[in-house]
Structure 1
Amino acid sequence: MAYAKEALGPKYKLDETVELVLDPEKRAFAKTEEESHKRQLTQIHFQISNYLMTDMKLPKAKEQLIHRYELTVKRMEEMKNSDIYDYTVNAFAAALDPHSNYMSPEATEDFQINMRLSLEGIGASLSNEDGYTVIQELIPGGSASKSNQLLPKDKIIAVGQGKTGTSENVIDMDLKDVVRRIRGKAGTAVRLTVLREKPEVKRLNVVLVRSKVQLEDDAAKVEMTERTVNGKKMKLARIELPGFYGGQKRTDRTSYKDVAAAVEKANKAGAEGIMFDLSMNSGGLLDEAVRIGGLFINRGNIVATKDSEGEVQMLDDIDSRVQFNGPMIVLISRLSASASEIVAGALQDYKRAVIVGGDHTYGKGSVQAVLPLQNDFGIIKVTTGLFFIPGGNSTQHRGVTSDVSFPSPFSTSDIGEKFLDYSLKPDSIRPFLSPESNEDNSWVPVSKAEIEKLRLLSAERVGKSKEFAEITKELKETEEKKGVIKLADMRKKESEGKKKDKNKAPKALAKERNKPQIDEGFAVLADFVNMRRMGSHK
C-alpha cells in the first residue's frame, strides 16, 4: 500500500514497455524488497492502463487505483471470522483436487439459485467497481426491469428496507453484503439510492417490490433457421443449453423438461436437423445429463461412475422413446465441461450425433457429492470418483474430441482440467454400450464416410473465412506469447478498435466471440441433412 502511493506520486509516468508474466510458477517469489517493488510497479502500469482505456485521465486513474488499494486493505481489516473459516477450509480442499470445496450459506444460496434458475429479489446482475455496486444488466421479468427506472451502469450507493425509513450507505461495502441487503422475500419492498453519471450526473431514489425472478437467459432455448442447399430449402433447429439445472421437487423446473420442450417445438416447426449447442455449458446435475442424453436414443447406458474403492455403477436411460430421430450435431468447445461432456461423449460413442466445434472439450471427468451441513451452515462438495462414457473412456483430461473441428477462440493451451493443480489422473474401464440404444432402428448411426465428407466440406469453407482466419491468427499470437502480456501490445489492440468490448458483459462478449462457430455449425448440419436426403447412409 505504501509503495503504491509512493509510485503513483507526482513523478509517475506510464511505462508501455513493461511485460507481465501470468503464470505464478514462472515468476517465482521475489527474493528482495527491490524485486518485489519492481513487480508491483509492473502491475500498477497495467492497472493504470486499464483505467486509461476507458477514456479516464491520468490524475483520476491514479486516484481510483489508490482507492482500490485502500479498499483492499479495508476489506482485509474488516474480514469476519466466517470469511477466514471459508478461506481456510477451501485452501485445504484445494490441496485435494480442484473441485472439492466448502460453500458458505451465501455461496450455497447462489448455488441453489443457479440450479433452480430462479431467485427472490429485484432481478439485476451486479458487480463491484472501485467500491461501487454497479448494475451490469437487468433481468427480464424482474421488478428492476419492469420499473423502467434503472439502467445498466447505474451505481447503487445506498439500500433501505421497506417503502420508507433510513437507508444504509453501501459505498465500499463488499458486494456479497450489498446483495444480501437487496435480496429478500417476494412481496417486500426495498429502496435504492442510485447514482447515474450519463448523460448527466444525477441521484435517484427508487422503491422496488421484490418478486420471484426466472433466469431465462440461463435456460434451454431453441431457435429455428432456414437454409438452402442445392436449391432446396430445409429447416434447422439450434437448441442451446447453458447448464444442467433442476430443483429438488418433482414440480420444479429442470433442464430435461426444458430441452424436451425445445425438441418438441423443433419437431412441430418441421426441423430436419438439430444442433445441440453445449459450447458454453460448464456442466451441472449428473442425473439431468443422463435424462437429456436419453432423449435421442431408445434406452441404455449413458454414463458410469467409479468410486475410490473401484466400484462401478451404470446410469442408464430407461425411456424407450426417441424425441428426435433425424440428423444431429453437438457443438462443443473447451468451455464444455463435466455433464456436457457426458452427453456429447455418449452421443458420439453411440454414433448418434456428429461432434463439431473446437478441438475438444474441457476434460473434467470427476464426480462430486454435495453434502449439506447441519444448522444451515452451508454445504461441502467432495470429489468421490470419475465418470466414464459408454466407450469406456473417462473424459478426465482427454475431454471429447470433435469429429469436425474448426478454430475456436477458446482453444488456448491454458483452458482445460489437465492444467489445474492436483487434478485426478485419467482412467478407463470396459466399454458398456447398450444394444438397446437403437433397438427399433429408430435412428441412423453416423458413418465414418459421412464424417469424412463433412470434414472436407467444412475445411473448404473455413479456409475461405476471414473470421476464422482472424481467430487462427489470435490463437497463434497467444501461443507465441507463452503467458507473457506486453502492455504496448495490449494498448495497440485497444487503439485498433477493440475498445468496444470493454463495455460488454462477459456473457455477451463470449456469445459474440462464439458466433462464427455457431454459423459453421449450422453449415455442417445443413451438409449433414443434405447428405441424408441423398441417401448417404444407405
Structure 2
Amino acid sequence: MSMCDKRPRNISENSPWNCRDIRFGDKFPYYFRSFIVILLLILLLPCCSVSDNLTCHRLPMVMQKFLDNHYAMKNMTGEIKTRAVDQLIKNLDPSKTMLYESDVKRLKPILQNLFSSMKTGNCTALRGVYDVLVARARENETVVKEILGPGYRHDETVELSINVEKRPFVKTLAEKHELLRKLVHFQIENALLSGMDMEEAKKQQIHHYTLQTRRVVEHDPEELITNAAKAFASALDPHTSYMSPEDYEDFQIQMQLSLEGIGAALSSDNGFAVIEELVAGGSAARSGLLKPKDKIIAVAQEGEKPISVIDMDLQDVTRMIRGRKGTKVTLTILRQAESTYRFNATITRDKVELKEQEAKIEYVTRSAGARQYRFGVIDLPSFYGDEKEEKSCYEDVKKLLMEAKRQRVDGIVLDLSRNGGGLLTEAVRLTGLFIGNGGIVATRDSRGQVTILANGSAASEVQDDERKVILYPAEDSQELYTGPLVVLTSRLSASASEIVAGALKDYRRAVIVGSDHTFGKGSVQVMISLPWNLGGMTITRDLYFLPGGRSTQKTGVEANVMLPNWFVLEDIGETALDYPLPAQAITPFLGTPENLIPPWKPLNRSLLANLAERSQARIAKDVKFTEIMMKNREAASRHGIIRLADLRREMTENSGKKKESIAERRQKARDQFSPFLEESVNVLTDMITLRSPELDLS
C-alpha cells in the first residue's frame, strides 16, 4: 500500500461523499490534536469560494457519516454524547474565563438532549447556549474595563496558572474578577516587555475583550452548529475532525505542499496556539529558537507592534504568521522549562529546504580496551519521498549504508529521535535494508480486514479470506547491513518512525535507545469531502500493527535502553490527548511471507538487560544528564504557574547578553541534544565490547 497522491486535483467529483485516500497516519503523526491543525508551509490563501453553512437538518447526516466510517465508534452512545458535550464546552470556552461552574452544570443536560434532538434536526437548544455566551462575554468586557480603570496598578507579584485542564471553572463573580485580573496583568506585562507604553497596553487589552464580545455576538446560534459538529467528531477520537468549508479550503492548500512559510505545525490547546512539530528544513527549525510545546502568545509583523493571540481562533493566528518569502514575523513565545519564561523569536519566512530533510551520516570513533572503533551515525529527520524530484529516503539511506560499509564501520546508529513520520512505503523499504525479507507493518480496518506490507522476493499482492499481503522487492543479500545497530528514539518519534523502530525491535534486530516510549499514534485517517460545499472530515479508519502483532497505539515503542527525557514531555504523546483509542493486537506476522533464517543473530534479553544496566550507570555519573534531569524536575514542579516577576527578571538578564547568531543558536540546540546521541554511541560500543555470542558482528 503506497501513499496516495494528496494533490486536490486528484479528487474525484463523481460522488458527493467522495473519500479521498489520504492516510494521515502515514504523513501527519499528530497534527489534528484539536479538531484541525495548521501546517504553516503555505504562502497565501486563494480567493475564497462561496460556501454553505452547516445547518441543523443536515447535521444528523454528517454525524451518521462519522459513525458509518469510523474504525471503532459505530453507534451514538451515552458515552459519545457525554464526550461531545465536554468537547463543545471546551471549544466554546477553552481558557475557562467566561463560563461559571453553575453555567456548565446547567448547560450539560441541555447539550446532552441537543445531541439526541439533532437526529431529528432540532437545534433550538443552541439559542440558550448562545444567550449564555453573549452574556458572559459582555460581563468579561465590563470586568476588564473596570480592572483597567483609573485605579489600575500593575502588579508584578501576580502568579497565573496556564494549566487550564487542572484549573476549575470559577464559581463566583469575585473569582472571575480575580482570574481576569491575573490574566490582564500577564497580558499587560507582555505588552510592556515588548516596548509598549502602559496606556497603549491598556487600550490594547480593552480592545481585545471588545473584539472577543463582538466575535461571540456574531457567532449566532446557527454557526454554533459547526461547533457541535466539531465537538461530536473529536468525541470519537483525537484525530477525527470536522472541517468547516473555510477549514477545508485551508487544508486543501496544505495538501498542495506549497513550501513557503516558517515550517511549523500548530494546534489549539486551551486558548493557546501551541507548536506541535518543527518541519525539518523549515525556517523555524533552522533558526534554533523554537521547540515543540512552545506557546505562541503574540504575533508581530515586520515593523509593527505585537498583537496578543491568546484565545484567538487558530486559523486567525495562522493567517497572521503566514507571509511571503523573505518577510519576517516575530512570535512571542511562552516556554515552560526549569522556569517559565517568554522571549521573542523573529523568523524569516522562507521555503522549506529539502536538503535539510535529507538523510546524513557522520562518523565517530570510540576507544575501548586496546582498540579504536569507528561508527556511522545516520540522522533521518523524516521519511521523505518525491517521485517528481526523484527524492527517496530509502534510496539515500541505502547509499549511506553502502558508504559506511566501504568505511568499514563497526556499527550504525539510526537517529529517529526528531522524526515525526512520513511516507509509509519509504519506511517499509528502509526497514528492509536491515532485515531483508519479512513483514514490516499491518493495518486493520473496521471490518477486520488485515493488510500486511512486507519485503519479499518480488513485488506482488496476495490475498486470502483473512489477510492481504503486499510485497515490495527485498534487497539483495549483499546490500543488507547486518552489523550492530542502535535506533535512537524519543517521544517525538511518531507514526512511520514508530513502525520502523517497532519492526526492528520485534525482529530483535536493533537496540532501541531513547525516551520511555515513542509518541504512540497507531491510527490511520482518511479524508472525506462533504456534499453541498459543507467542508470535509477526517476519520480514523484503520490501526497500525507491528510484526509481533501489537499496535503502536497509545503505548508506542518502548525503549530497550531508557534515557532521560530531552525536555519536559509529559504532555507529548497519544495518551495526553482526549479519548485515544485503546491499544489492540492481531496475530503476529513475523517472517511473512517467507520464513527464512535471518542474516543476523537476534539480540537476546540478557544482552539487552546488560546494555541497559551499563547505560544507567553512566547516566547517573554524567554531569550533562544530571543537569537535564534536574531542570525537568524543576519544570514539572511548577505545574504550569507563571510568575510575572520571573518574566521581568528573564527579560532583564537577557537584555544584557549578546544576541546569538542563527549559527550559534543552532549549535546550542545541537549541544543540548548531544548527550543523547553520545549515549546511543556508548550503547553501540557496549554491544561490540561485550562480544556477545548472540550478536552478529559481520
| Category of TM-score, reference length = shorter chain | 0.7 to 0.9
1:525 matched to 2:684 = yes
Deviation of residue 370 (structure 1)?
3.6
Tell me how large the CA RMSD over aligned residues is. 4.7
The residue that corresponds to 2:365 in the other structure is 227
Given the superposition, is the C-alpha separation of residues 253 and 175 from structure 1 closer, same or farther in structure 2, using an over 3 Å criterion? farther
Is the Cα contact below 8 Å between 1:359 and 1:402 reproduced in 2?
yes
Query: Counterpart of 2:520 in 1: which secondary structure?
Result: coil
Give the TM-score normalised by structure 1. 0.73
Residue of 402, 408, 412 corresponding to 1:274: 412
The residue that corresponds to 2:375 in the other structure is 236
Deviation of residue 221 (structure 1)?
2.4
The residue that corresponds to 2:324 in the other structure is 182
Alignment of 1:87-98 (within 5 A): 89-98=229-238
Deviation of residue 398 (structure 1)?
1.5
Residue of 501, 509, 512 corresponding to 1:352: 509
Distance 2:397 2:206 in 1: 49
Deviation of residue 485 (structure 1)?
1.4
Q: Report which structure shows greater RCO (CA 8 Å, sep ≥6).
A: 2
Q: Where do 5+ consecutive residues of structure 2 fail to align? A: 1-140, 267-277, 287-298, 305-314, 331-348, 457-472
Deviation of residue 464 (structure 1)?
1.0
Letter in 2 for 1:233: Q
Given the superposition, is the C-alpha separation of residues 27 and 360 from structure 1 closer, same or farther in structure 2, using an over 3 Å criterion? same
Query: Counterpart of 1:45 in 2: which secondary structure?
Result: helix
The residue that corresponds to 2:177 in the other structure is 37
Is the Cα contact below 8 Å between 1:334 and 1:410 reproduced in 2?
no
Is the Cα contact below 8 Å between 1:242 and 1:278 reproduced in 2?
yes
**What does the per-residue CA deviation read over 1:407-429, in whole Å, with 9 as the maximum and x for residues that have no partner?**
11346432221222121111112
Is the Cα contact below 8 Å between 1:371 and 1:379 reproduced in 2?
yes
Letter in 2 for 1:29: F
**What does the per-residue CA deviation read over 1:118-144, in whole Å, with 9 as the maximum and x for residues that have no partner?**
x355x656999xxxxxxxx999899xx
Given the superposition, is the C-alpha separation of residues 69 and 470 from structure 1 closer, same or farther in structure 2, using an over 3 Å criterion? farther
Residue of 576, 586, 589 corresponding to 1:432: 589
Query: Counterpart of 1:43 in 2: which secondary structure?
Result: helix
**What does the per-residue CA deviation read over 1:227-252, in whole Å, with 9 as the maximum and x for residues that have no partner?**
222243333222223333444x5655
The residue that corresponds to 2:251 in the other structure is 107
1:286 matched to 2:424 = yes
Distance 1:23 1:501 in 2: 36
1:487 matched to 2:643 = yes
Query: Counterpart of 1:104 in 2: which secondary structure?
Result: helix
Given the superposition, is the C-alpha separation of residues 530 and 127 from structure 1 closer, same or farther in structure 2, using an over 3 Å criterion? closer
Identity of aligned residues (%): 35
Deviation of residue 453 (structure 1)?
2.5
Deviation of residue 384 (structure 1)?
0.6
Given the superposition, is the C-alpha separation of residues 224 and 67 from structure 1 closer, same or farther in structure 2, using an over 3 Å criterion? farther
**What does the per-residue CA deviation read over 1:325-358, in whole Å, with 9 as the maximum and x for residues that have no partner?**
2111111111222221111111100011100011
1:14 matched to 2:155 = yes
Given the superposition, is the C-alpha separation of residues 262 and 396 from structure 1 closer, same or farther in structure 2, using an over 3 Å criterion? same
Distance 1:492 1:20 in 2: 17
Deviation of residue 536 (structure 1)?
5.5
Distance 2:381 2:531 in 1: 31
Give the TM-score normalised by structure 2. 0.57
Query: Counterpart of 1:434 in 2: which secondary structure?
Result: coil
Range moving further from structure 2, 443-452 or 253-262: 253-262
Residue of 580, 585, 588 corresponding to 1:423: 580
Distance 2:173 2:596 in 1: 71
Letter in 2 for 1:320: A
Query: Counterpart of 2:425 in 1: which secondary structure?
Result: helix
Is the Cα contact below 8 Å between 1:301 and 1:314 reproduced in 2?
yes
Distance 2:593 2:411 in 1: 23
Alignment of 1:149-188 (within 5 A): 155-156=301-302, 174=316, 176-177=318-319, 182=324
The residue that corresponds to 2:522 in the other structure is 365
Given the superposition, is the C-alpha separation of residues 20 and 370 from structure 1 closer, same or farther in structure 2, using an over 3 Å criterion? same
Distance 1:449 1:104 in 2: 52
Is the Cα contact below 8 Å between 1:86 and 1:104 reproduced in 2?
no
The residue that corresponds to 2:488 in the other structure is 331
Query: Counterpart of 2:584 in 1: which secondary structure?
Result: coil
Distance 2:522 2:388 in 1: 28
Query: Counterpart of 1:514 in 2: which secondary structure?
Result: helix
The residue that corresponds to 1:464 in the other structure is 621
Distance 1:32 1:267 in 2: 70
The residue that corresponds to 1:395 in the other structure is 552
Query: Counterpart of 2:443 in 1: which secondary structure?
Result: strand
